A and B are shown apart, each in its own frame.
Chain A
Amino acid sequence: MNDNEKIQRSNLKRILRYFLIRIIIMAITLVIGVYVVILVANMGGAVDNIRKSQIREAIGTSLLGDEVYRMMKPEEKREYVKMLEEVEFKRLGLDQPFAIRSFLYLKQALTLNLGNAERLTSDTGSRQVRLIILERLAPTLVLMMTAFLILFFVALTFALFLSRRYGSFFDKMIIALAPLSAAPAWFYGIFLILLFAAVLKLLPFGGMVRVPPPDNNLEYFLSLLRHLVLPVSSVLLSSIFISTYNWRTYFLIYSSEDYVEMAKAKGLSSAMIERRYVLRPTMPAIVTSFALSLIAQWMGSITLETVFNWPGLGRRIYEAINNFDSPVIIGANVIYAYLLAITVLVLDVIYAILDPRVKVGAGGVRQ
């Protein structure tokens, strides 16, 4: 075995050890994180009291007009109400103590068997948390990914463009417009709806497709595109200026590095300088930002989806929180946690590839 092979084998071992440690750390973080989510979603078990009380309230109210109930003797009434409560407690799993349920939730979460919801059903009527999330995931991804991808590439292109034209009219304009991003997307959404749906009647108020939804796939797609225009525009309006401004500043910082000046002095073309000396060192940060934003999109946006009546996951999770439906809340968070952990792990690899300064482990080969 020559030195090169030794070095390669040693590097491989190092990389494997590094990833093993990272995976173990992330697994522990994941278990702790998920259990914390379970505790928070159930307020450490206090949600049980709230839900039991709500059940009692609902049952008691339903008995107001019950003719047979009013004729019962007091002890019969008590027994009857108890019977009704027990059925409901059992149905919602409240007959088991929270401590036991919390570990069941944890097991389900870690094995990605998300179990059944306690109150909510999916749009098609299933109690499986998997389906509750999956059915709403597609509309959310269509909306958020479309908006995000357009935003990312447009902002990136603009930022590069502006970084080469520091102090120009466009540069000043972007700086001036950047504070517009203080308003969230739904805020612009309301204005866009008022203008394009209520006044001009050019675009729909909301929803995902026209009603009744077209049977033909092409028509469905075109209708979907038409319904995407306003929500996507809202996201773009709320983020494009600040994103462009941020990245343009970022590029400017890297553009003034000594090695860039050196490259300029060497007479390299500006395209090459951008690609090799500006874009490459900024790539890890851009990729990180891109990846983390990408997974953040899957949780959807409660308010934006509500304003545009978009059947997305954000609204579903909000309903789950309002209904104290722990399995759905936990399910959504667990998937997010897994996605986050995997993304971070993948980013570590990408960093190593993209940035020659990043080294796995410390100190090189032990002689």
Chain B
Amino acid sequence: MKLIKQVKGNGNNSEQITLLPQDKEDLFSLYNVINTDDELIFKKLVTDKVDSSGKKKNTDLVRLRLKVVSSEFEPQHEFLRYKGVTTEDDTGKANIDVPTGKFFSFTINYKYPFTLIKEDYNTFVAKQLKDACTPESRSDIAAVCLQEGISHICLLSSFSTILKNKIEYSLPKKKRSTDAAKFDEKIEKFYKGTYESMKRHFEFEKLKVIILCSPGFYAKNLFDKVMQYAQEDNNKIILNARPRFLVAHCSTGYLQGISEVLKNPAYVSRLQDARNSKEALIMDEFLQHLNNDDFKAWYGQAEVAKASEMGAIDTLLITDGLLRANDIKVRKSSVDLTQAVEKAGGTVYVFSSLHSSGEELEKLTGLACILKFPIPDLDDDIESDDD
């Protein structure tokens, strides 16, 4: 993402940021940053719907200023759209000849910059934008997770795990009467289908690592097959990417297998760039504390808030969902919490809800923490409240 212009806000004015998003990760950053009631200024082709003659239609490029009402985000299709109503523009540049209170939508594209006017500009937003504007923090990883007859073609970035395609072939079950040759033929078809899908969804030149993972030997087989097919197609791009393939082991061909690989210490050196592998490890550490029952790991709104008050939090795990919540109160308290923890010397990990670890945390109320020291009775008085 490119930051084109930033006008600092003060007590009276809101922060104004002009941005040009460049790729799908920027979309997710924007999704985290732009909340309802923020304002957007952008240009849009607007077509008059009814003309008096009923024939002619005018299409004009209009500069609009909207107040965001709702958003739609489809990471799979790189689609982010905001809906909003036009507001009064004090600069006099936007919303000319457009009545106030009219509904428009704005689909984020990579071609034209737009301006975001944000009243509650906070540290989380600042960090998100800073991260998004530094391309070094990027890592592009592709993964294929497969088992017999099923493969998942995914793209991993620092913010997201996106399932691009799922290949499913129903393979005949072994029976004494089944012809084994027919079975091999089907398997071959399955690998071929997976290879074709990889070709379609992966940009091999840009990828840093391509993970192939499966239980048993399917990943290794797939790797061999991919190389063989690439050889046959004389596909130089894939052949050149050969050293960047990582054949890994996991227990299942479903998406859970990928997080297993990201957690596995055996592959850490290859996956250092992947920010989300760090999150997976933190989550695992949290679970380990919980399993040991050493009273250092807690989750839940009230518990974490209490621990924060005591200044006992070593690591805070929070989902981005809380930091971009539509409810301003929730958003504010979440930002305050992260600031408090950082002030007390703790670390904050913001989990992306597009990752499996973030999804897991979301189900755990979205807030969890690892303490500096055990507090056995942290939830004593809280429990009585709930019942």
Answer whether A and B are interacting partners: no
**Which residues of B does A touch, CB under 8 Å?**
none
